[in-house]
Each structure stands twice: as C-alpha cells, then as structure tokens.
C-alpha cells in the first residue's frame, strides 16, 4: 500500500507540473484504465518487487484519476454549490470505501491474488460501462440543467447560500458599502 500511495502522490504531482492538454474526462478514463491494468499486473506478479512496482504504477494512475475527478467536480459544480458538491463527494467516497472493505471481507476468497484480480476487474468493468453509456445516442453532450430546475432563490443575488458575485468584486462592494470616490470633500464649516 505504501508503493500505491507513493505512486498516487507522484502521479498527482506530475499531472500538476505537466498540465496535459487532454480533457479531464479523458484523463479520468485513462487513470481508471491504468489503475485496473496495473492492479491486474500486481495480481499476476511473480515476486514482491514486481508486485510493488505494479502497485506504484497503479498509484500513479490513481493519482491521475483523483486529480481529474476533482477537476471535473470544480468545472461542473455551480459556484454557489461547489462546497456542497465537494463535501458530498468526499462523504460518498469514504462511505463507499467502508462498504467496499466490508464486502471484500465478507466475499473475499482468502487468496490475495484472486481478490486483487477481482478489484482490477471491477476497475476495468467500470471503464467499459462508462464507454457504453458515453456512446449511447445523444450522450455526447454534457447534461444541461434546465433553468426551471434551479430554484428562484438560487438564481437571485443574495437569495440564498453564497452571494452570486465573488467577495471583493465591484458588484459585491456596491451592495455592501458605499464606494469612496477618493476625493476629500470640501470643508463647509467656514
């Protein structure tokens, strides 16, 4: 697991440094595919060093996947709901990890090789399912939320949640405090 974590750190840092021009969706699919293939290689590894190298490679691809997933969340979440989207995403990830660990313990085969091969297979099945869903007619476009689905409170400035204008912007300043012209008013006491 240390090799996997070190690989994930290296993959995330490399992605941040190199800034590839590929779309985040493509990076996520590449990351998931690479993670699945590298875990399959770890399951079939003849020795501990080969297994550790395969785990490190799986970590590199997982770092790519995590970074691309966070980028997708940031790109597609409405600004006033971004905190909620990230919080719910983190909660779902932790809950799914706990559920996955419980299921793996219950359904585990007793063989690390078979269990690791099953995890790799699930990663690769997820890629195939995504590709099948993505290729359906009409699924090439990004989903559009109809305006009617967004509550009026969320559309109006100051109607709820965070303000529409970022703090410090001209519009936000005009709603909170009068702007100073920078001139000193003439002395009218004389």
**pLDDT given for residue 159 in this prediction:** 45
120 and 64 co-located in one domain: yes
Residue 33 near residue 110 (C-beta atoms within 8 A): no
**pLDDT given for residue 189 in this prediction:** 58
**pLDDT given for residue 173 in this prediction:** 46
155 and 72 co-located in one domain: no
- Please provide the average confidence, as pLDDT, over all residues in the chain: 77
Whether 152 has a pLDDT exceeding 90, the answer reads no
- Could you report the per-residue pLDDT of 68-126, keeping only the tens digit for each? 888 888 888 888 888 888 888 889 889 988 988 888 788 777 788 888 898 899 899 99
Residue with tokens 């419980």: 102
113 and 173 co-located in one domain: no
**pLDDT given for residue 43 in this prediction:** 92
- Could you report the per-residue pLDDT of 158-189, keeping only the tens digit for each? 444 444 444 554 444 444 445 555 555 556 55
Whether 12 has a pLDDT exceeding 80, the answer reads yes
Asked whether residue 124 is assigned to any structural domain, the reply reads yes
Asked whether residue 122 is assigned to any structural domain, the reply reads yes
**pLDDT given for residue 69 in this prediction:** 86
62 and 119 co-located in one domain: yes
- Could you report the per-residue pLDDT of 14-57, keeping only the tens digit for each? 888 888 788 888 888 899 999 999 999 999 999 899 999 999 99
Phi-psi region of 183 (alpha: psi -120 to 50; beta: other; left: phi over 0): beta
Please tell me the total count of domains within the chain. Answer: 2
Asked whether residue 101 is assigned to any structural domain, the reply reads no
The residues, any chain, with a CB within 8 Å of residue 37's CB and separated by 6 or more, are 120, 124
**pLDDT given for residue 184 in this prediction:** 55
**pLDDT given for residue 155 in this prediction:** 47
Dihedral angle computed from the Cα positions of residues 135, 71, 26 and 88, in that order, rounded to the nearest 10 degrees: -40
**pLDDT given for residue 34 in this prediction:** 93
């Amino acid at each position: 697991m240390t090799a996997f974590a070190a690989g994930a750190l290296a993959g995330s840092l490399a992605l941040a440094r190199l800034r590839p021009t590929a779309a985040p969706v493509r990076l996520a699919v590449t990351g998931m595919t690479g993670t699945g293939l590298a875990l399959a290689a770890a399951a079939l590894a003849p020795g501990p060093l080969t297994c550790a190298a395969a785990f490190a490679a799986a970590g590199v691809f997982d770092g790519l996947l995590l970074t691309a997933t966070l980028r997708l969340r940031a790109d597609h979440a409405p600004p006033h709901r971004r905190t909620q989207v990230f919080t719910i995403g983190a909660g779902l990830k932790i809950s799914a990890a706990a559920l996955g660990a419980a299921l793996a313990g219950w359904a585990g085969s007793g063989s690390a090789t078979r269990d690791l091969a099953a995890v790799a297979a699930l990663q690769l099945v997820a890629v195939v399912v995504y590709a099948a869903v993505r290729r359906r007619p009409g699924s090439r476009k990004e989903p559009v939320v109809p305006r009617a689905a967004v509550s009026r409170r969320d559309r109006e400035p100051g109607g709820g949640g965070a303000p529409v204008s970022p703090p410090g912007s001209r519009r936000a300043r005009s709603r909170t405090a009068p702007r100073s012209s920078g001139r000193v008013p003439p002395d009218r006491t004389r």
